[in-house]
Structure 1
Amino acid sequence: MTTPTDSFYRHLREWFTVFLPRQRGASPRTITSCRHTWNMLLAHLADTRQVPLSQITFTILDRACVIGFLDHMRTTRGWTATTYNQRLACIRSFFRYAATAEPTLAMHLADLNGIPQLKTPATPTVRYMTTTAITALLASPDASTKTGLRDQFFMILMYDLAARDAEMLALTLGDIDTKRLTVDLIGKGSKPRRLPINTETAAHCRRYTAAFHADFDPGQPLFYTIHRHRKTSMSDDNVARFLRQHAAKARESCPEIPEKVHPHMLRHSRAMQLYQAGMPLALLTEWLGHADPETTLIYAHADTEMKRQALAKATSGISTSPPAVPIWHNHEDIIQRLCGLTD
């Protein structure tokens, strides 16, 4: 006889192993993201409702449970409205699949459909750190310890490449060439790109590999944890955790470091530095692996606003001329393109 628990985990297993990869054609990165969402949700449920994982059913995963999970993560992890909505969409996707496979479960999907999405900011914002803050953050780990050496190299490499968190975690030892000073990344849509690194980053890499990859197997994950005596790719939760720890430590001597630092902020910070140093937007688009060149305009927009504010301070009390009309005034198409940008 099939129990409610058996039904829940059977559908969840088929969603991961059949629906997502075969029917929907989801990328391995998308499946990994969904897996992280469900791992966090089930762990939260077990902790807050004291329900053993083996006894979780569709009925237990009601609207109040999912809202509590999303709100908790937004408070403790600093999830943005976009992240909140993406995780909610992932959970609903599973319930939609289950309701299709077993129509009697449609009532649970209807319950979750009542959860409203959060409103995302109308204007794209780029949160990045100054070079002073970046310098303090990268110097925070104690490189004399093995863990500190790993954390420092991860942040240095991520900043140098302006890479996404998932791109970093997908790197293998063979993807980095310290002689040619290049790194091969696999971006969104499984699109490869090769980026340069500087000599200092290459030196950090050699110290790191000497400590963590004595056997030098090119196929091993560059950044890993030991699980059941095997090297497995490090999780994004682990990266977020040590980044918060080092940011808190560095903030004691450098107040410029924001209160909430997340991995993607390193990517934004490097991109802004490259743009401010004169890198053309077309080249920056290729560097960042953006499929849509307009996505990169968020850095130009942010830099324009920064210059506008600096100009306003410099001329305060001197000029009485009316402010310049923004170039997008009366051009709703430009506004819509800017507001629709995502990274």
Structure 2
Amino acid sequence: MAGTKRNNGNFWPLAHKFLGSYLPNVRNLSQNTIDAYKQSLKDFIDYLEKQKGIKRKNIPIEAFNRNTVQEYMAYLNTQRKLAPKTCGLRLTAIKSFLKYCSDEDLLFEARFHEVYSINGMKSVKKPVKYLPENAMSTLLKMPKNGTDKERRNRMLLIFLYDTAVRVQELTNMELRDLHLNRTSPFITVRNGKGNKLRNIPLMAKTVNHLKHYIAEFHPGRTPDSNRPLFYSTRDNLPHKLTTDAIRIILSKYVDMARELCPDIPEKVGCHTIRKTRAMDLYRNGIPLPFIMELLGHESEATTKTFYAFATVDMLHDAIAKSNPEIANDKPQWKKQEILSRLYSFD
């Protein structure tokens, strides 16, 4: 194959420069985003090797053609049963890599343009899952004050709900990110998604809880300390809680709360708490642009799509208030039933 030798020699150097230099230094993307791109490219190379018989040390430019990438997308969807969103992330990574390659080497130009025109998979919009008010209240009451670990975990749940931060943002939170003595107290998220910085206001009750927590768990520390806000102690040193540790903590109290409140679903993650906080604000009339800022969404369209389905419950509540004599009757439909009818052709 003409030109194969040069092509094979260029692929891996370009891939390493793309991940190791271009994405972090030129695009200034977060490590999480870079890791996602890396995993996507690795997955595609694995596909080429296992499904197409192409040795990874001899990746030709021709492997990045429209038909192969489309077959890869179909493979992810039909064989591996990955969600459309995940398939879309894989495709985005391939397109971004090919765009970089085309800028560095004209041999990639044609491949980039033919792959760039591939459309991503359409996904079905699902209703946002969030906890009812009584369920969230029950969950926050589960950690008791008997031990220092329980007090830490109670503060963690309160903080997670009030700020609606992502779990990775929670693990990265440091003392210097708290501004509790301001007229309007707030926290600063320094390492948000895409390395974005944002400020999040705090409720007065949360500020009070935090001051007591800091007095116990960070005695004598200055406000500008880079000490992790939530930590475990090993070898007499504080180590920030990992995302897995936080998920385990949350799961423990979710299981406890479910015994008192059956409305709590089986699967409740940190993102559920984030959605619940945002939904509570939305239902209380907070404008979407403010919720967008709180969540760290770049596009208002993302927030609108995220919470569009909330209007089903809100509409029912409004009708119930305006027609009490009708609303008091036992409903003849179930929530899932009406959603199925509203969002299908059946």
TM-score class normalised by the smaller sequence: 0.5 to 0.7
- In structure 2, the CA distance between the partners of 1:278 and 1:12, relative to structure 1 (3 Å rule), is same
Unaligned runs of 5+ in 2: 1-11, 43-56, 60-73, 105-118, 330-346
- In structure 2, the CA distance between the partners of 1:195 and 1:301, relative to structure 1 (3 Å rule), is same
The match for 2:32 is: 32
The match for 1:169 is: 171
- In structure 2, the CA distance between the partners of 1:219 and 1:204, relative to structure 1 (3 Å rule), is closer
Larger radius of gyration: 2
Q: Distance in 2 between matches of 1:268 and 1:213?
A: 33
Query: By how many angstroms is 1:132 displaced?
Result: 1.0
Q: Distance in 2 between matches of 1:226 and 1:94?
A: 41
1:82 matched to 2:85? The reply is yes
Structure 2: which amino acid aligns with 1:198?
A: A
Q: Distance in 2 between matches of 1:206 and 1:233?
A: 19
- In structure 2, the CA distance between the partners of 1:285 and 1:117, relative to structure 1 (3 Å rule), is closer
The match for 1:294 is: 301
Structure 1: which amino acid aligns with 2:225?
A: P
Report the secondary structure of 1:268's partner residue. Answer: helix
Q: Distance in 2 between matches of 1:249 and 1:87?
A: 38
Of 274, 284, 288, which residue of structure 2 is paired with 1:281? Answer: 288
Do 1:226 and 1:232's aligned partners in 2 also have CA atoms closer than 8 Å?
yes
Between the two proteins, what is the percent identity of the paired residues? 25
Do 2:155 and 2:213's aligned partners in 1 also have CA atoms closer than 8 Å?
no
1:262 matched to 2:264? The reply is no
Do 1:172 and 1:222's aligned partners in 2 also have CA atoms closer than 8 Å?
yes
Query: RMSD of the alignment, in Å?
Result: 5.4
Listed as ranges, the matches of 1:92-103 within 5 Å are none
Q: Distance in 1 between matches of 2:153 and 2:132?
A: 20
Residue-by-residue CA offset, 1:46-69 (whole Å, 9 max, x unaligned): xxxxxxxxxxx999xxxxxxx999
- In structure 2, the CA distance between the partners of 1:86 and 1:299, relative to structure 1 (3 Å rule), is closer
TM-score, normalised on structure 2? 0.60
Residue-by-residue CA offset, 1:139-168 (whole Å, 9 max, x unaligned): 223443333333322221121122233332
Residue-by-residue CA offset, 1:187-207 (whole Å, 9 max, x unaligned): 445233242332344324532
Residue-by-residue CA offset, 1:21-63 (whole Å, 9 max, x unaligned): 135xx4453x135448979xx9xxxxxxxxxxxxxx999xxxx
Do 2:155 and 2:209's aligned partners in 1 also have CA atoms closer than 8 Å?
no
Do 2:254 and 2:268's aligned partners in 1 also have CA atoms closer than 8 Å?
yes
The match for 2:124 is: 121
Query: By how many angstroms is 1:281 displaced?
Result: 2.9
1:199 matched to 2:205? The reply is yes
Structure 2: which amino acid aligns with 1:17?
A: G
Do 1:182 and 1:195's aligned partners in 2 also have CA atoms closer than 8 Å?
yes
- Which stretch of structure 1 is more off in the superposition, 207-216 or 226-235? 226-235
The match for 2:137 is: 135
Residue-by-residue CA offset, 1:112-145 (whole Å, 9 max, x unaligned): xxxx9875224x5321111111112222234433
Alignment length (residue pairs): 301
Do 1:85 and 1:117's aligned partners in 2 also have CA atoms closer than 8 Å?
yes
Do 2:172 and 2:228's aligned partners in 1 also have CA atoms closer than 8 Å?
yes
Unaligned runs of 5+ in 1: 1-8, 43-56, 60-66, 102-115, 319-343
- Which stretch of structure 1 is more off in the superposition, 133-142 or 184-193? 184-193
The match for 2:21 is: 18
Q: Distance in 1 between matches of 2:91 and 2:234?
A: 29
Query: By how many angstroms is 1:183 displaced?
Result: 1.5
1:184 matched to 2:188? The reply is yes
Structure 1: which amino acid aligns with 2:21?
A: V
The match for 1:250 is: 257
- In structure 2, the CA distance between the partners of 1:233 and 1:297, relative to structure 1 (3 Å rule), is same
Do 1:133 and 1:254's aligned partners in 2 also have CA atoms closer than 8 Å?
yes
Report the secondary structure of 2:199's partner residue. Answer: strand
Q: Distance in 2 between matches of 1:298 and 1:95?
A: 29
Q: Distance in 2 between matches of 1:83 and 1:155?
A: 29
Report the secondary structure of 1:258's partner residue. Answer: coil
Q: Distance in 2 between matches of 1:141 and 1:74?
A: 38
Do 1:133 and 1:257's aligned partners in 2 also have CA atoms closer than 8 Å?
yes
Query: By how many angstroms is 1:253 displaced?
Result: 1.6
